[in-house]
Amino acid sequence: MPIDEIAQKVSDRYAKAASTGEQICCPTDYNFADLRSFIPEEVLKISYGCGTPAGLKTVRPSETVLDIGSGGGIDCFEAARLVGPAGRVIGIDMTDTMLAIARRNAAVVAANLGYPASNIEFRKGRAEAMPIEDGMVDLIISNCVINLAPDKRKVFREMFRVAKVGGRFTISDIVSDQTVPQYLVHDTQKWGDCLSGALTLTEYIGGMVDAGFWAVHLVKSSPWQIIDGIHFFSITLTGYKPSAVPSESTVRYATLRGPFSRVVDERGTTFQRGIPVRISPETTLLLSLTPLANHFVLSGDPLVLGQSDPRWNAVFPAEAPCIWEGHYALLAGPFVEAVDDDHHVYRRGEPMEICSKTLAVLQAGGYAPHFAIINRAGQNVSGDAVTCSPNEGGCC
């Protein structure tokens, strides 16, 4: 299908949904009782997101926030509350019906918030060619939109262009655990349902990194739909447009603390837990970003971390049988590769089958923020428990 035809069909679909109030897409975690205190019902009833990118403590006072595919404006209005009257919010959308609803409610929301004037503006435009000046945005948000765009790489490049140096994004979207086949890609209905246009997690994070963003990592994930064995799930990701690399730094070494026993960062440097690695000022900048900073000790001189050091971090599996229940773990950044203490090698976005023992490990504190977990078993599994250990072979 030609790109303009896809965009027109998506726009027609959302124009119709906005005028009829049809329910589309996914469960979100909005606190509607709270939002109702300042956002009109006309907006809330056409909320078509798959996350809450503005509500995840990502928006800071006085910032300039851009919402790509703002729809009826729910996340713009929440961002307007969080940036305060000194901040600014811009929503862009390609669908006139959506823009009309959002625009007529902007003044109502400003009045409800007690602001002297509205701090929100809605502009008509496509995510692939945003009507936004270079480098003007502190925080880019978007909620279930990029999957609908026919040329996602263009969207990622546009995001990088409009972000300030040191700016960031928090994006909720639908991704899949495997490539969506052509018979679904050409299904207009499922494309409009935020399914057929989904990228795999590997493609999504890789696309953001290729556009220039650093430390792209998972904030939240939840399962959505399974079609013909393809798992679609909602993710919220954050990443950064890097600040200028300082020409000099007192930091020269980084030592991995764990819980991973080995990682490869986005720039290709490998770190073994406890062993200092000489790093460049560029890598120092990368490793200082959230959430990488929690995993490393940065130092001027080489620092070896022993197992008894309180900064050493490891999560070992319990002495328990291993039961295969259909779970798969997908590493969702900020590393391209990471290894646990059971020698599983996780590669960014690639589903890795795990047993109940490993599931418990990955759900523990240090690992949990890095993985999206899906279950590919169609129904309950009744396989026998097996005993295995990494050193004796077997399932792990």
Ligand X SMILES: C[S@@+](CC[C@H](N)C(=O)[O-])C[C@H]1O[C@@H](n2cnc3c(N)ncnc32)[C@H](O)[C@@H]1O
Q: Note the residues at the interface with ligand X (CB under 6 A).
A: 7, 10-11, 14, 25, 47-49, 69-72, 74-75, 93-95, 98, 126-128, 143-145, 148-149, 194
**Nearest residue (CB) to ligand X, 26 versus 215:** 26
Residues in Cβ contact with 257 at an 8 Å cutoff, skipping those fewer than 6 apart: 273, 294, 295, 296, 297, 305, 311, 312, 313
CB of 223 to ligand X, least distance (A): 18
CB of 123 to ligand X, least distance (A): 10
CB of 7 to ligand X, least distance (A): 6
**Nearest residue (CB) to ligand X, 25 versus 285:** 25
Residues in Cβ contact with 363 at an 8 Å cutoff, skipping those fewer than 6 apart: 373
The residues that bridge with 346 in the sheet, in sequence order, are 338
**Nearest residue (CB) to ligand X, 97 versus 202:** 97
Which residue in 371, 96, 66, 351 sits closest to 231, CA to CA? 351
| Residue 109 CB neighbour total at 10 angstroms | 23
Positive or negative, the Cα torsion across 116, 52, 14, 156?
positive
**Nearest residue (CB) to ligand X, 98 versus 209:** 98
CB of 128 to ligand X, least distance (A): 6
DSSP assignment of 151-210, as one string?
Answer: -HHHHHHHHHHHEEEEEEEEEEEEEESSPPPHHHHT-HHHHHTTSTTPEEHHHHHHHHHH
Regarding beta strands 137-143 and 120-124, do their DSSP bridges make them parallel or antiparallel, or are they unpaired? Answer: unpaired
**Nearest residue (CB) to ligand X, 204 versus 271:** 204
CB of 149 to ligand X, least distance (A): 4
CB of 233 to ligand X, least distance (A): 16
Q: How far is CA 183 from CA 1, 5, 6, 177, 348, in A?
A: 12, 17, 15, 17, 26
**Nearest residue (CB) to ligand X, 14 versus 253:** 14
